[in-house]
Chains A and B, each alone.
Chain A
Amino acid sequence: MKSVHKIRLIVSAVLLAGLLSACGSNNNNTSPSSQAVNAESEPDPIELLNVSYDPTRELYEEYNKSFAEYWKKETGGTVTIKQSHGGSGKQSRAVIDGLEADVVTLALAYDIDAIAGKGLLKEDWQQSFEFNSTPYTSTIVFLVRKGNPKGVKDWDDLVKDGIEVITPNPKTSGGARWNYLAAWGYAEQKFNKDEAQVKDFIKKLFQNVPVLDSGARDATNTFVQREIGDVLLAWENEAYLALKEFGDKYEIVTPSLSILAEPPVAIVDKVVDKKGTRAAAEAYLKYLYTEEGQEIAAKNFYRPRLQSVADKYKDKFPQLNLITIKDHFGGWQEAQKKHFADGACLTKFTRRVPDKGPARGV
């Protein structure tokens, strides 16, 4: 009697497991988005892996579809693009650790430099494509709650008492480094490059940060979903996306000065040579520069490089004074050393934030 029970139990467990996995695969095969079905009839379907940072999810979802159609038209072949998203630094680390990305599209050149430093791609990768390999740009803007109740107009307002600023952690988030550098650039202009005052400004700014998330998307979630903070320092595209998702609850404030954020793209030489996907990977990134690619970028709130598309979306992106990382900070390696490395400026600003009662507070 007992053993009958046992057998029945085991059999039903196995059946259940089999059933579940079977229906999983069935559904997958019949689902329209799976390319596996039409791949059977063609030679050599290509699969690319694009390792990207957080706010590009929507952009590449649309872009990948468009590119797959384009590739089919051009070559007759099938290409499937797999996506991986996460904090820029985290993604770069994964590629270094062996995540086989054909292309990387990260938040800042420094993270791709880190990959190049391990020999996965050539040191001068930024020369491979136009505009320093950044097919689209963005900038840093403020997202505030509807009606701008705290009257935030410019960077000065962020250091006032009683303002809560949400930004991700510049140590881990690419977007947050742009935030930080934009604020620094503004303070330099304001205080005429008096470094002590600039540092004081940045320090005050970070004292107003109640939550330091690890990625740009986490920070947006904190601001919009948890309703914490008065201002979100965000990628322009991230801010517009929040507007699109959550509509009338927020508005965008464009500061008088910001930074030209250049998220670069690159082919990971070692991976594409091994997998034999260089041609497709190159076409994939080049397509970003075409009219179609630029249009998709603009639609997803990235500032296009191509003049014709830029003109078309002129009203969407307000003109403002933009500083660049190269002219203002001497490039990423310099900026990293001065601002973000352990023991550099940033560490001092986020340290000893006035404690309102740490663990004892519970």
Chain B
Amino acid sequence: MKLLRLKDRVLPGLPLTLGFTVLYLSLIVLIPLMALAIRSAGLSASEWWLTVTNARVLAAYKLSLLTSLFAAIVNLVFGLLLAWVLVRYRFPGKRIVDGLIDLPFALPTAVAGIALTTIYAPNGWVGSLLEPLGIKAAYSPLGITIALIFIGIPFVVRTVQPVLQDMESDMEEAAVLLGSYRWRIFRKIILPELIPPLLTGFALAFARGIGEYGSVVFISGNMPMKTEITPLLIITKLEQYEYNQAAAIAVGLLLISFLLLLLINVLQRWSNRRQSPIRKGG
């Protein structure tokens, strides 16, 4: 990240652009979010605590966090693998595969939701294969996890890919000369470099998963205490006219997301600062 050495402003437009930025940000994002905070403040602190620690709400938080976590872990592994294959190997159709990575990002979530449900339901293409094995994909936490893996895969691949691409081969060369094996080189030299982008991608996939709604509602089964995700619980509360409770649960979810976001920004600064490859082993 280049530091701007500009002390006195030479370029024009700061008041205009910054003013517009802050105004627009306030109108579209901040003021509406404030409304949420105020509505949630309609409950006292203890009521708020009671709402978000209600067994059903806790189960929903737990489910959302666990499935997102698990999906993010799967994406961590396969995202790294995909990025690796895409950067380092040659195979036919590579450009298409590379383009496909972004599909979950561009595909509307509702479309993803019904498509995944169709495939993984007990009478679907994959679901019917899993059924005899006693594995229930759709309408179980597994189904939710599959949807979240789908949603999250581009995040990991797209954060790891550029770093892997820009990686110089000097260190690898040196290691080969010193007689290291591939696996050892990967572990000792390549992986440490990839940890910051991997963590960023992981956090992004995780954050996206916690809040995901469209692709999950179709496949989740929506059983309270078992397969009811937090965003759905918010909608359910709304439908029961429990505005304050809905807002309270939303604030809880928002806090988690905001913490993750902060973590991501810290991680990104950390990875930007790590210029030299010879620092900190994995």
- Contact across chains for A359 and B225 when beta carbons are under 8 A apart: no
Taking the closest CB of chain B, its distance from the CB of A346, in whole angstroms, is 10
Which residues of B lie under 8 Å from residue A227 when comparing CB positions? 121-123
Q: Give the contacting residue for B236; candidates A96, A171, A352; CB below 8 A.
A: A171
Pick out which of these stretches binds chain B: A18-26, A128-136, A209-217, A279-287.
A209-217
List B38-71 residues whose CB lies under 8 Å from chain A.
55-56, 62-63, 66-67, 70
Residues in A whose Cβ lies below 8 Å from that of B240? 89, 171-172
- Judged by a CB distance under 8 angstroms, whether B138 is at the interface is yes
Interface size class of A (residues with CB under 8 A): 20 to 34
Distance A225 CA – B139 CA, assembled complex (angstroms): 13
CB-CB contacts below 8 Å: B221-258 with A = 221-226, 232, 235-236, 238-242
Contact partner of B67 among A211, A342, A355, A359, CB < 8 A?
A359
A93-B238, A358-B63, A359-B67 as given contacts; A212 in contact with B221, CB under 8 Å? yes
The answer to whether A96 touches B241, judged by C-beta atoms less than 8 angstroms apart, is yes
Name the interface residues of B100-135: CB closer than 8 Å to any CB of A.
117, 121-123
In the bound complex, what is the Cα–Cα distance between A342 and B223 (angstroms)? 16
**Residues of B close to A89: CB separation below 8 A:** 239-241
Residues on A with C-beta less than 8 A from B63 are 358-359
Of the candidates A347, A355, A359, which one forms a contact with B70 in the assembled complex, judged by CB atoms under 8 Å apart? Answer: A359
Asked if B224 contacts A169 (CB within 8 A), the reply is yes
In the assembled complex, which residues on chain B have CB atoms less than 8 Å from the CB atom of A347?
56
- Contacting pair A226 B123 (CB below 8 A): yes
CA distance A210 to B66 in the complex (A): 21
Chain B residues positioned under 8 Å from A210 (CB to CB): 139, 221, 223
In the bound complex, residues from chain A placing their C-beta under 8 Å from that of B221 are 210-213
Q: Tell which of B24-32, B83-91, B140-148, B180-188 binds the partner.
A: B140-148
Interface size grouping (class) on chain B: 20 to 34
Q: Which residues of A contact B66 (CB under 8 A)?
A: 359
Set of chain B residues within 8 Å of A362, measured between Cβ atoms: 67, 70, 140-142, 145
Collect the chain A residues with CB atoms within 8 Å of residue B55's CB. Answer: 351
Flag whether A353 is at the interface (Cβ < 8 A): yes
Task: Answer whether A226 and B122 are a contact pair too, CB < 8 Å, given A361-B141, A362-B145.
Answer: yes
B239 touches which of A90, A228, A353 (Cβ 8 Å): A90
Interface flags, A163-188, vs B, CB<8A=1, else 0: 00000010110000000000000000
Q: How far is the CB of A231 from chain B (nearest CB, A)?
A: 16
Q: For chain A residues 335-362, which have a beta carbon within 8 Å of chain B?
A: 342, 347, 350-353, 355, 358-359, 361-362
Q: Which residues of B contact A114 (CB under 8 A)?
A: 241
Interface pair A350/B224, CB less than 8 Å apart: yes
- Asked if A304 is at the interface (CB within 8 A of a chain B CB), the reply is no
A146 to B145 alpha-carbon distance, docked (Å) = 33
Given A114-B241, A359-B141, A362-B142: A350 touches B122 (CB 8 Å cut-off) = no
Distance, CA A299 to CA B243, complexed state (A): 39
User: Of A212, A222, A347, A353, which is in contact with the most chain B CB atoms at under 10 Å from its CB?
Assistant: A212
Instruction: For the complex, give the distance between the alpha carbons of A351 and B224 in Å.
Output: 7
Closest to A91 in B: B239
Is there an interface contact between B138 and A358, defined as CB atoms closer than 8 Å? no
B67, B122, B145, B222: which contacts A228 (Cβ < 8 A)?
A: B122
Given contacts A93-B241, A358-B63, A362-B67, contact A352 B225 (CB under 8 A): yes
**Residues of chain A contacted by B232 (CB below 8 angstroms):** 214
* Distance, CA A210 to CA B222, complexed state (A): 10
User: Of all chain A residues, which has the CB nearest B146?
Assistant: A362
A89 to B246, CA, bound (A): 15
Complex CA distance for A171 and B140, rounded to whole angstroms: 20
- Measured between C-beta atoms, what is the minimum distance from B79 to chain A in Å? 18
A87 interface residue per 8 A CB criterion: yes
12 A-B pairs (CB sep. < 8 Å)? A171-B239, A171-B240, A172-B240, A210-B221, A212-B222, A213-B221, A214-B235, A226-B117, A226-B123, A351-B55, A353-B225, A361-B141
A-contacting residues of B (Cβ < 8 Å)? 55-56, 62-63, 66-67, 70, 117, 121-123, 138-142, 145, 221-226, 232, 235-236, 238-242
* Residue positions of A touching B, CB distance < 8 A: 87, 89-90, 93, 96, 114, 169, 171-172, 209-214, 222, 225-228, 342, 347, 350-353, 355, 358-359, 361-362
In the A-B complex, the 6 residue pairs with the smallest Cβ-Cβ separation, listed nearest first, are: A359-B66, A89-B239, A226-B121, A211-B221, A362-B142, A90-B239
